[in-house]
Structure formats: structure tokens, C-alpha cells
Amino acid sequence: MARIKIPRKSTAIDMTAMCDVAFLLLTFFILTAKLRQEDPLKVDVPGASVKLNIPDVDMATITVGHDKVFFGVEGTDIRKALLEEMGKKYNIPFTPEETQKFMVTPTFGVPMNLMKQYLDLSADDKKKYVQPGIQVDTTTNSELFNWIYQARIVTKNLHNKELKFAIKGDSHEVYPKVGGIIDILQKQAVNRFSLITALNQSK
Amino acid sequence: MAELDTSGGGGKKGGKVRSKKASTRIDLTAMVDLAFLLITFFIMATTLAKPKAMETIWPDKTKKDVQLPVPESRTMTVLLGANHSIAWYIGPPGKTPPTVDNFGKNGIRKTLIENNKKIEATHAGKDNYMIVLVKPSDKATYKDFVSIMDELDITRIQSRAVVAITPPEIGMLKDSKLY
């Protein structure tokens, strides 16, 4: 009796479709990617059950943590105009190169008198440099007050929109620190702002 | 590479030696590997989990004449003490001793719901909702503040205010050893 020969099948799989899918996904991720920005001030954001996303444009973030306050505003055009306005206010002329460097600094915590030195640092030195934070007090003439105020004016002039604010506070920061920032915003009649939280799924 | 030779190895029974036809199929395995590696990199390096934000609205401090009288019997005051502690009381300060509470499902959330029901039941009229005053002390952390605001959101208590803490209330916290 003759044995039935089972033809051996090829073990090669057609990879074409898989390759297509992989590259499609890759393209999608490259196009939607917004590179994770290294925060100069690392804060542990408190969790909450809110699911509202924060907007990407016309947005300023005030980071509070480790007894320091950092300020950041979205948009290179706004940052450029903002530095010019702040330079005028504090009588510090900034060179075009410095302005260029400021435009790519999304968040900073440097007082005005050190701003020039900070911007002149090389990229490597900037990473090593420990930013001391922006000066804050309860008066209406602190540096943070002016940053916020000028940023609002610049946004209104350039985009004709109200600048939105978000406070990114560290979980372990005592409340009065954040309360002081809220007071500064309230003094400028900014009564609507967000508190950045992480999504808390455990509750 | 990922292909086994399945030609059988036979066919050498004399005859002409023919040049083998080269296959037109390319091994895509390496390419797929690379593509997935890159995908992994982009997933890791980008911010997928965007931060969430809690919208807060605060009273306008520039207008001084819009203070509404708050009926004390409908007011629940929540004091935030040290070490994530809470103490609360209803009505004017000092009338009832504060109750110590904690964060979480069976803590302040339950209290807020129960007090809201109680106040709605004991008050007549349309305006019978509970008003919550949050008073963070100097030793409360920012996390406590966000948590209590979140609890108020969860229990849907709309009428709330953040008020500065007064010395008698700090005394209450001290009495309960929360300050």
C-alpha cells in the first residue's frame, strides 16, 4: 500500500500585510507625536476624578513645588513678544539670539536679573543649572505678577484671546503656597483657572 | 532566514543542470521588526496620557459689594488640618463640636451626601441646598485641597467657597490634635 504523502508546507509567512500595518501605525505615531518635554521642576501632581483635558493653545502654566514657582506659556510667538515686554519693563535689553533661545523655553523659573545669564548658557549647562524659581510676593509688583500680566496682554494683542491659566501644584506643597498664587491671579481678576491633576482611577 | 528548505532535496537524477530561478519574495521579517521597534519608541517617547485639569471658578475680589449673606444653618464648614485630616461642623462655629473625618469613599464623601440630604430635609423652600465652606489651614497640603474639591465635584455640591481659616477654627483643629 502506498503511503499518502503529505506535502510539506512552507513555514514562511507572508509578512507584507504585517509590514503595511506596522508602517501605518508608525506613520500615525510620528505625525501625532508631541515629544515629552522634560519639566525643569518635577512635581507630583495630585490625583482627582476629573477628565477634562487642558487646551494646547493660549495657555499658561504656573508650576508650584519644592518652594519654587515656575512659569510657562504656550506658543513661540507669544513667548517672543512676552520677553520683549518684560525686558522693557525691567530695563533689560535682550539680543535676538537670547529671544530666540527664550522662544524654545516652554517653562522657566529664573528671576529677571538672572534671565540674561540663563539664556546665554549652552544647552548642556542649562540642563545642569538649577533654576531658583520666580520671585513671588503678595504685592502687585512681584515678578510673577508681571509675567502673568504681560502674558495676558501679549496674548490679547497677538491672538485676541483671553489667556487661560493652569496651576500645576505638587501634592506635598502646603496649601498657602498655592493659595498665594491663586491670590495673585485673583488680583488681576483672573477668577477662572484650572488645577492640573492626574487621573485617579483607584477611587 | 525564517524559511525552511522544503524543496525535498531530490531531483538529482541526471539530466541537465538548470540554474535555479531566484524567488521574487523578499524576507520582510527584519523590516517588520524595525517598524515595530520604532513604533515602540514613539509610544514611549510621546505623551499619550495628557494631564487632566480641574476647572475652578473663584469669586471676583475686585468687586466688594457682592457678598451674599450665608444662612448659617445650611452651612457646612470643612477644615483641612495637618496629615490629610478633615474636621467639619454645621452651623456657626463653636455651636457644635467639629467631627473628625478622613478622605475616601466612606469618609468625607458619605458625610457630604448625608449632610446634604439632612439639610434639604430640614429646610423648606427652593433654596434648601447645602453650602460648603472649605477652610484649608496652613498645614494642609495642596493634595488635600484638590481632593476635597474633587469630592465636592463627585457629590455634585455646587455651592462652595474657599475661605481663609480663622484663629478659633485653628483652635478647634488643635483640640482635635489635627494641627
- Supply the pLDDT for residue B2: 54
Which residue among B36, B143, B145 places its CB closest to the CB of A22? B36
Q: What is the pLDDT of residues A23-33, one digit of tens each?
A: 998 888 888 77
Residue B132 falls inside a structural domain = yes
With CB atoms and an 8 Å threshold, state whether B136 touches A35.
no
Q: What is the pLDDT of residues B138-168, one digit of tens each?
A: 888 888 888 888 888 888 888 888 888 888 8
Q: Test A169 with B149 for CB contact under 8 angstroms.
A: no
- From B91's Cα to the closest Cα of chain A, the distance in A is 25
Residue B161 lies in a domain: yes
Rounded Cα distance between A197 and A47, Å, is 5
Q: Is the ipTM of this complex over 0.90?
A: no
A111-115, A178-182, B53-57, B123-127: least confidently modelled range: B123-127
Q: Could A9 and B54 be called an inter-chain contact, meaning their C-beta atoms sit closer than 8 Å?
A: no
B35 vs B174, residue with greater confidence: B35
CA triple B84-A67-A116, angle to 5 deg: 155
Task: Indicate whether B124 belongs to any domain.
Answer: yes
Q: With cut-offs at 50, 70 and 90, classify the pLDDT of residue A203.
A: very low
In the prediction, which pLDDT does B49 show?
61
B38 located within any domain: no
Interface of B with A in 78-117 (CB under 8 A): 80, 104-105
Chain A residues close to B23, C-beta within 8 Å: none
Question: Which A residues in the span 152-171 are in contact with B, Cβ-Cβ below 8 Å?
Answer: 166, 168-171
List Cα–Cα distances, A145 to A135, A136, A162, B33, B171, in angstroms: 9, 8, 16, 52, 34
- Do the Cβ atoms of A189 and B61 come within 8 Å? yes
Nearest neighbour of B140 by CB, restricted to A18, A46, A175: A175
Residue with cell 457646612: B76
Once rounded to an integer, what is the mean pLDDT over residues B111-139?
Answer: 83
Residue B141 and residue B144: Cα distance in Å, rounded? 5
Tell me if B101 is assigned to some domain: yes
In this prediction the pTM is 0.74
CATH number of the CATH domain containing B85: 3.30.420
| Nearest to B32, CA basis, from A17, A10, A12, A28 | A17
Selected residue with higher pLDDT from B89 and A37: B89
Domain count, chain B: 1
pLDDT-derived band at A35, boundaries 50, 70, 90: low
How many CB pairs lie under 8 A apart between chains A and B?
Answer: 169
**Does residue B64 fall inside a structural domain?**
no
Position B40 in a domain: no
Instruction: Calculate how close chain B gets to A175, using CA atoms only, in Å.
Output: 5
Mean pLDDT of all residues in chain A? 84
Q: How many CB atoms lie within 10 A of CB B79?
A: 28
Grid coordinates standing for A123? Answer: 544647552
Asked whether residue B26 is assigned to any structural domain, the reply reads no
B140 touches chain A (CB under 8 A): yes
Chain B residue numbers with beta carbons less than 8 Å from the beta carbon of A193 are: 55-56, 58
- Look at residue B47 in the predicted model and tell me its pLDDT: 66
Contacts of A185 in chain B (CB under 8 A): 58
Mean pLDDT (whole number) for A65-71: 87
Residue B29 contacts A, CB cutoff 8 Å: yes
Range of the domain at B142: 72-175
The pLDDT value recorded for residue B6 is: 54
Chain A residues inside the 8 Å CB shell of B136: 175-176, 179
**Does the pLDDT of residue B119 top 80, yes or no?**
yes
